[in-house]
Structure 1
Amino acid sequence: VFLFPERIMWSKTYSKRVSDLPAEKVWEVWTDINRWHIWQPDIESAELDGEFKAGNTFRLKPKGGSWVSIRILEVEPGHQFTDLTCFPGARMYGCHEFIVHGDGLEIRTTMSIEGFLSFLWRKMVAEKIAHGMAAQTEALIEEAKRI
């Protein structure tokens, strides 16, 4: 008899450093969920329910996909936020960090997935998101520079 461990985890991180870009601009773009579709070509629409704060949710519709409900787990304004997407048998976390260094700003995103069906959701969703993190970060930087 094979027993699944309670937590099977996979994670992937992408990080990029930029100079001459204030963290406040990046934070402004990242937290304006209702405008994500403008600078993220893989998103058809996104809608935040209420304010951008822990406990609130937003809905996201990927291009060609169905609506997904995502909960904001924690927020440290101007520095980081973590969101949670629940799938049957798995939970996917997105941790988005902005780290100020003496020579600029580091933008870091970590996607992780856990649960007994994480292997399935990893293949169906998480790996695709992880594969797009570099392009998403570049689009975030360009939008922050534009505003």
Structure 2
Amino acid sequence: MKSRVISVTSNVIGKKDVWELITNIDQWSEWDFNIEYSECIKNKTGQVSLFKVKHRIFFITGRGIVEEFRPYERFTLRIGLAGARLYRKYIMEDTKEGLKVSIVTSVSGFLAWLWNFLVVKRILKDTPEDLTIIVEQAKKNRHEKYITF
């Protein structure tokens, strides 16, 4: 299973801002261009455990599960595909330059080569833009919290 990592570092956002954005499954389509629709199906002990997602371009609908949930550190999900599994891991770490947000994408299974060709290439192509939107949206959400009337 080959993993691809794409990262961005910013000193204008915090872990809490990013965490609230990426763990709000019902709103993924607001910052991920590949997602037309996402829905949290089942919560388990405060952690999202089961969700449904629909790809915008390829009209593929899949179910997924959150495999790892470490608040303000990492969030790992797995989406079941025919003959393969798509993994996305969101990692947040503090650096001297600011908060580093990384997205690790991988696919495994006997049809991984097909899903790499059909879907993952497009997801990876759009990931840098998704990260830019995450940073901008987190920054916007942070500033809105401090505005008082």
TM-score, normalization: structure 2?
Answer: 0.85
1:24 aligns to 2:24 (yes or no): no
Q: Give the 5 Å matches for 1:1-147.
A: 9-51=1-43, 53=47, 56-64=49-57, 65-147=59-141
Q: 2: distance between equivalents of 1:110 and 1:39? A: 17
Cα distance change of structure 1 residues 100 and 93 upon mapping to structure 2, 3 Å threshold = same
What CA deviation, in whole Å up to 9, does each residue of 1:109-128 have, x standing for no partner?
A: 01011122211111111111
Greater alpha carbon shift after TM alignment, 83-92 vs 135-144: 83-92
**Deviation of residue 33 (structure 1)?**
1.2
SS in structure 2 opposite 1:40? coil
> Residues 62 and 81 of structure 2 are in contact (CA less than 8 Å); yes or no, is this contact kept in structure 1?
no
Q: Which runs of 5+ in 2 are unaligned?
A: 142-149
Number of equivalent positions: 138
Moved more, 63-72 or 100-109: 63-72
Residue 32 of structure 1 deviates from its aligned partner by 1.0
**What corresponds to 1:6 in structure 2?**
none
For the 8 Å contact 1:43–1:61, the answer to whether it is kept is yes
Does the 8 A contact of 2:52 with 2:64 survive in 1?
Answer: yes
Q: 5+ unaligned residues in a row in structure 1: which ranges?
A: 1-8
Work out the percentage of aligned pairs sharing the same amino acid: 26
AA aligned opposite 1:146:
K
1:137 to partner: Cα distance: 0.5
> What TM-score do the two structures reach when normalised by structure 1?
0.86
Name the Cα RMSD after superposition. 1.6
Q: Matches of 1:41 and 1:118 in 2, distance apart? A: 22
